[in-house]
């Protein structure tokens, strides 16, 4: 299987790197600066599961051509339009696409651009970040990918991708209920992002604060109810994961959205929190935490745009 990975950052670099490490034919679609960095230093990963340093194949957007079997799509939601433009030549050859974006609203745009039959469902669970020196830091042992067919015609592509992943050290699953998985991921992610961004702290710090646990539990319960009313009641393992991880008194993790805020970078306010807030209001579910978080994030975006983040 020939795979094009969009980006070589925290997600694409880590999962694509593990695939390349296993001998899978992987090419990274990167910007010029990252291309120079990879050509000079190779792809570097620091992980408790084993460090990685290897030369990798790269391509710039202007040089992308058909001939790939699958595109691993790992951009942020605010870069969705430009990312779709960048991979478009690769998709003309009939490649399948597995998105690794957080949330769900991107599927409508991907389906419209490339056709639903070419867009599988996908998500990942990992705590990783790209450092200024180009090294990808994998913060803990979690490195799970879940994907699956959204259309029966995608079975061959899903099978081939699973065979490629089976060669790696990654934890992965080919799910026959991928939309259920996406809702369960969003249930937790929207709660984690809302609470950590509101209070500008990791889970451990929030749990140590007065009523921090109450706020996180309220956020998770509200999102569980949204998913239920949308027809995807969270299953017991997903509920246990959300409460265990979201209220861990020793949990050093935070949402990637908070890391973006602390770096003064763009955030996925509309794509994650705004989208869930609309669903909460449509279904008349408690929207208190989501509403405060969304206002906070949109205020941050306005201050960032005006250059007032000092």
Q: Indicate which residues carry an active-site annotation.
A: 185
Instruction: Please give the Cα distance from 291 to 53 (Å, whole number).
Output: 43
Q: In what order do the strands lie in the sheet with 57-59?
A: 57-59, 25-29, 2-6, 70-73, 96-99
Instruction: Please give the Cα distance from 56 to 40 (Å, whole number).
Output: 11
Please compute Rg for the chain using Cα positions.
19
Q: What's the sign of the alpha-carbon dihedral 154, 159, 161, 162?
A: positive
Residue 287 near residue 278, CB atoms below 8 Å? no
Instruction: Please give the Cα distance from 115 to 19 (Å, whole number).
Output: 26
- In eight-state DSSP terms, residue 165 is H
DSSP string, 28-49: EE--HHHHHHHHHH-EEEEETT
């Amino acid at each position: 299987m020939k795979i094009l990975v969009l980006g070589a950052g925290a997600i694409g670099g880590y999962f694509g790197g593990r695939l390349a490490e296993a001998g899978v034919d992987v090419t990274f679609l990167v910007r010029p600066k990252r291309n120079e960095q990879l050509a000079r230093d190779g792809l570097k990963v620091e992980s408790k599961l084993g460090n990685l340093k290897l030369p990798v194949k790269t391509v710039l957007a202007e040089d992308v051509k058909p001939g790939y079997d699958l595109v691993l799509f790992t951009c942020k939601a605010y870069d969705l339009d430009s990312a779709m433009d960048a991979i478009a030549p690769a998709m003309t050859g009939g490649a399948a696409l597995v998105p690794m974006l957080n949330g769900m609203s991107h599927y409508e745009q991907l389906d419209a651009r490339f056709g639903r039959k070419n867009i599988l469902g996908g998500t990942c669970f990992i705590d990783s970040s790209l450092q200024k020196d180009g090294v990808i830091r994998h913060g803990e042992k979690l490195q799970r990918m879940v994907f699956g067919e959204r259309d029966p015609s995608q079975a061959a592509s899903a099978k081939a991708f699973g065979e490629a992943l089976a060669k790696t050290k990654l934890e992965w699953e080919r799910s026959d209920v991928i939309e259920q998985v996406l809702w369960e991921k969003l249930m937790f992610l929207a709660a984690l992002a809302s609470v950590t961004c509101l209070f500008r702290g990791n889970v451990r710090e929030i749990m140590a604060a007065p009523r921090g646990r109450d706020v996180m539990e309220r956020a998770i319960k509200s999102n569980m109810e949204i998913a239920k009313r949308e027809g995807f009641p969270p299953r017991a393992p997903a509920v246990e994961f959300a409460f265990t991880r979201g209220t861990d008194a020793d949990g050093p993790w935070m949402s990637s959205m908070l890391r973006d805020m602390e770096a003064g970078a763009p955030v996925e306010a509309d794509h994650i929190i705004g989208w869930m807030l609309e669903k909460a209001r449509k279904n008349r579910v408690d929207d208190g935490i989501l509403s405060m978080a969304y206002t906070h994030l949109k205020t941050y975006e306005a201050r960032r745009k005006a250059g007032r983040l000092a």
